Amino acid sequence: MKALTQTDRRRRRAPTIYEVAKRAGVSIATVSRVQQQPSRVAAPTRDRVERAIKELAYRPSRLGRSLAHGSHDATGIVFPDLSGPYYSAVILGYEEASAAQGQSVLILATHRRPRTVEQVLHLADRVDGLVIMGRTVGDDVVEQLDRRGVPMVLLARPPAAAIDSIRSENRRSAEALVRHLIEHGHDRIGFVGDPADSADVAERFEGFLAAHRGAGIQPAFDPTPSALRETDGRAAAITLLGRADRPTAVVGANDEVALGVLDAARGAGIRVPTELAVTGWDDIPMTRHVSPALTTVRQPMFDLGRRAAALLHERITVDPAEPRHETLPTRLVVRSSCGCTAPAEEKEE
């Protein structure tokens, strides 16, 4: 490859505001004023500056605009993980709404790294506001950011009194899901997921317990801890289904976990749903196409991201007097993995 000469580099470098000012015979302050407040510049001077801008094909840098306006034209979103269809759908909704607002998006996936707090605080200095998802950082960090005046929205996390939040409903739909299993005759129902690791999972487990209380029965098992990935769900299910007193139904904390449970059941020669009912949560596209099709709870993943972006944009630009706490509805979708033979393999309750 031919090396670039110094002349080549100069030709390929974007023109600067200093070059515009030199060509027009004005100061850089005048160039900036023409771009920001043209009515304050005399017409002949304005014409010279605009002609220089056009001749040089000058475009002001994003950083320069940010410094001038005291803003970054960007927001940040802090996620625990970027893998899987749930996170992808939420980010898609967030990015689409942010693009419509003219905002760039910086994404920080923490992956339980030891320097998460430092990274989040650093990100807060580079953006106009933050969305913080789940338990990526502790309440102390959220409070620290709030004291610094960082506009924030909490996503899939319990509301804090002074900070906007957006989440999906969990408890009532989980109670309806488990009640549905109990009505099928199941009284030995396992739960695969970790309530201590996720606010959403904790609420789903609360609904699991509420359904048992409503039926007057004691849960037969403690939760089987699992991260929210298919491989982790499969590993947890192998242990649970290997018990002599194994469950007759398993509630997965999300669809990926439930798909792992289905795989573990197949590996153990356990037939679903005749010997084991399996349910999930999220209603990702794959749930309709596995065999048997997965009974699950549909939550508006795209809308979670979209509304988070809208709330943050309003907090940055308007700064409403009161915090907003929104809960989006979810609904039980019954397919055949629980033992139902619903018309068209699907019905909503």
Q: In sequence order, what DSSP letters do the residues of 259-291 get, joined into one string?
A: HHHHHHHHHTT--TTTT-EEE-SB--GGGGTSS
Digit-coded pLDDT (tens) for 28-67: 778 878 877 788 889 989 999 999 988 888 876 544 555 4
pLDDT at 17: 79
Of 16, 32, 60, the last residue of a domain is 60
pLDDT at 32: 78
Token pair in block for residue 53: 């801008």
Query: Which residues are registered as beta bridge partners of 168?
Result: 328
User: Quick one: 263 and 211 in the same domain?
Assistant: yes
Of 21, 36, 60, the last residue of a domain is 60
The residue among 71 and 301 whose pLDDT is bigger is 301
Q: Give the residue from 184, 182, 144 showing the smallest Cα distance to 163.
A: 144
User: Quick one: 211 and 113 in the same domain?
Assistant: no
User: Quick one: 11 and 157 in the same domain?
Assistant: no
pLDDT class of 216 with cuts at 50, 70, 90: very high
Q: What is the CATH number of the domain that holds 175?
A: 3.40.50.2300
pLDDT at 6: 39
User: Quick one: 192 and 291 in the same domain?
Assistant: yes
Which segment of 89-93, 137-141, 148-152, 157-161 scores lowest on mean pLDDT?
Answer: 157-161
When the pLDDT of each residue in the chain is averaged and rounded to a whole number, the result is 88
Token pair in block for residue 87: 């996170």
Residue 13 placed within a domain = yes
> CA 83, 117, 61 angle in degrees (round to 5)?
80
Q: Give the residue from 76, 73, 129 showing the smallest Cα distance to 101.
A: 73
User: Quick one: 272 and 318 in the same domain?
Assistant: no
User: Quick one: 127 and 161 in the same domain?
Assistant: yes
Kindly compute the dihedral angle of the four CA atoms of residues 290, 296, 299, 305, in this order, to the nearest 10 degrees: -40
Asked if residue 5 has pLDDT above 50, the reply is no
User: Quick one: 236 and 339 in the same domain?
Assistant: yes
The total number of structural domains in the chain stands at 3
User: Quick one: 289 and 187 in the same domain?
Assistant: yes
Residue 317 placed within a domain = yes
Which segment of 117-126, 171-180, 204-213, 214-223 scores lowest on mean pLDDT?
Answer: 117-126
**Element containing residue 258 per DSSP (H, E):** helix 255-267
Digit-coded pLDDT (tens) for 276-297: 999 999 999 999 999 999 999 9
Q: What is the C-alpha separation between 307 and 312, in angstroms, rounded? A: 8
Residue 218 placed within a domain = yes
User: Quick one: 147 and 266 in the same domain?
Assistant: no
Asked if residue 4 has pLDDT above 60, the reply is no
**In degrees rounded to 5, what are phi and psi of residue 3?**
-70, 145
Asked if residue 346 has pLDDT above 70, the reply is no
Q: Which domain holds residue 103?
A: 73-167+301-329
pLDDT at 38: 82
Locate the DSSP E strands across the chain: 74-79, 104-109, 130-133, 152-155, 164-168, 189-192, 249-252, 277-279, 296-298, 325-328, 331-334, 347-348
Residue 324 placed within a domain = yes
Three-state SS at 114: coil
User: Quick one: 284 and 306 in the same domain?
Assistant: no
User: Quick one: 285 and 182 in the same domain?
Assistant: yes
Residue 68 placed within a domain = no
User: Quick one: 98 and 191 in the same domain?
Assistant: no
